[in-house]
Structures are given as C-alpha cells and as structure tokens.
Amino acid sequence: MATELLYLRDAYQRTFSATVVDRRDDAVVLDRTAFYPTGGGQPHDTGTLGGLSVTEVRKEGDAVWHTLSGGPAPAVGALVDGEIDWERRHALMRTHTALHVLCGVIWNEWAVPVTGGNMEPLSARMDFEFDPLPEAFGPRVEELVNVELAADRAVSVEFLARGEAVGDADLIRTKVNMIPETVSEIRVIDIAGLDKQADGGTHVRSTAEVGRIRVVKTESKGKGNKRVRLEVVDA
C-alpha cells in the first residue's frame, strides 16, 4: 500500500497520526507519514512513532518503511502518533535550500550544471562540471550565494502536469524530460527569480531562513568534475 507523503505539501508539519499498514521485524509502513525517507541527496528524518525511536526511514516502491527501536513495533491496524526531530529536519531544510541557491548562482554566473551532491544537517558537498575551476572561485561563490540568501527570496512548492514541466524553459537544464513518462505530476521547488528544479526534498519558505553559507573547501574530482564543500551557519 502506498504511503501518503505529507512532507511533499507541508515541510513544516512536525506531528501526525497514522495507521500501521504493514510490519516486518522492527519496521512499519504507515498509510501517511511526515518522516522524510533517504533520497535525492537528503538523509532521512529521525523522531518518535508510537513512543518508539525512529532510527531509519527508507522508501521501497510507494511504501515508506520506518525502522523503530526501544520496544516491539506496533501491529498492523494500530493507530500511532508520530513526531519528527525538528532540529535535525529544519537543519536539513536549510541545507537543501542552500544547495538549490548554489545551483542557481553557479548556473547564472558560469552556466555550469551540477553533476551530483549529498548533504548532512548544516553541511554538504556538491559537484559541478567545471574544468578548471575559475580563479578565486571559493570566496566568489560564497559571496554570491550569501547575497541571494539575504535577499529573502520566496521558496515555493508547485505541482505541474508533466507536459507543463517539460515545456518550462527554466526546468530544461535540470533534465526534467528524463523523468519517466509514467510520472504524470512533477513537484517543482521554485526559488523566486533564481532557481527552479524538479525535486522531492524538504525546503524552508524563504532564502533568509537558511542563514549564510561558508565555503569550506573546493577540490577537483577529475576532469569536468569539481567539488564544493560548504557549511550552513546562522546569519
């Protein structure tokens, strides 16, 4: 049974009630969840479910499995209350939005696409198709990103029909046409006037809520692949 993903429409929902629809050893599937499962470079949430600790969250097909510790997992049919660890989640939201601002800035300034990335709460790495890196790139990109963050740009979540998304010029660079044809609705994160991407992650409402970034390191990961490591700090 498919799990309804509450975080797709409201990233600020911290608590919810749900019914257990499947169970396997120490893990359960719910009919709905606010817990983000690992994916798209964003790690899973932690928190509590029915008084037990949620230690891992992963998606298998349309079902979200929550691994529990601290006691026996509730039975199928049980109604449970969930609460996500908000400090961790909000840190991940700030970090994820910071990475989209970084992508937008690098595209606008150098027209270079992203090739990969990963994040932890308040720290991340992202790889870009630079060859070589521009001179004094670290300080320059840090400055440009921090200007955009301070500009307090609105971050909105949109659901577009597949045809609409594929025809959107702003989405072409993120290869939205590569999304399988079976997907009829595409979720888009729009940072007003800066960056637009098809994305399944959780984001803050405005760029000011991110704070600032600090570029910790830039390094070469081979031809056409340069890595930026950053930290998110309070403004």
Least separation in angstroms between CB 31 and Zn ion: 26
For every residue of 18-29, DSSP letters joined together read EEEEEEETTEEE
Please answer whether residues 145 and 105 qualify as being in contact, where contact means their C-beta atoms are separated by less than 8 angstroms.
yes
The C-alpha atoms of residue 63 and residue 43 are separated, in whole angstroms, by 17
The C-alpha atoms of residue 215 and residue 195 are separated, in whole angstroms, by 20
One-letter amino acid for residue 140 of the chain: R
Which residue is at the shortest CB distance from Zn ion? 199
Least separation in angstroms between CB 1 and Zn ion: 27
Least separation in angstroms between CB 197 and Zn ion: 6
Stretch that binds Zn ion, among 31-39, 148-156, 163-171, 192-200 (CB under 5 A): 192-200
* Cα angle, residue 198 at apex, residues 28 and 167 outer, rounded to 5°: 140
- 85: its two tokens: 């660890």
Least separation in angstroms between CB 13 and Zn ion: 19
Alpha-helical (H) ranges within 8-85 are: none
Decide if residue 201 touches Zn ion (CB under 5 A).
Answer: yes
Stretch that binds Zn ion, among 21-29, 56-64, 78-86, 196-204 (CB under 5 A): 196-204
Q: Which is nearer to Zn ion, 56 or 199 (CB)?
A: 199
Decide if residue 199 touches Zn ion (CB under 5 A).
Answer: yes
Q: Which is nearer to Zn ion, 55 or 59 (CB)?
A: 59
Q: Which is nearer to Zn ion, 37 or 201 (CB)?
A: 201
Least separation in angstroms between CB 73 and Zn ion: 31
Rg over CA atoms, the chain: 19
Least separation in angstroms between CB 199 and Zn ion: 4
Stretch that binds Zn ion, among 8-16, 125-133, 143-151, 193-201 (CB under 5 A): 193-201
Q: How many residues sit in the footprint of Zn ion (CB under 5 A)?
A: 2
Decide if residue 127 touches Zn ion (CB under 5 A).
Answer: no
Residues 6+ apart with CB under 8 A from 23: 29, 73, 74, 75, 76
The C-alpha atoms of residue 82 and residue 7 are separated, in whole angstroms, by 13
* Cα angle, residue 150 at apex, residues 88 and 140 outer, rounded to 5°: 95
Sites for Zn ion among residues 24-43 (CB under 5 A): none
- 24: its two tokens: 């396997």
Q: Which is nearer to Zn ion, 43 or 201 (CB)?
A: 201
Residues that bind Zn ion (CB under 5 A): 199, 201
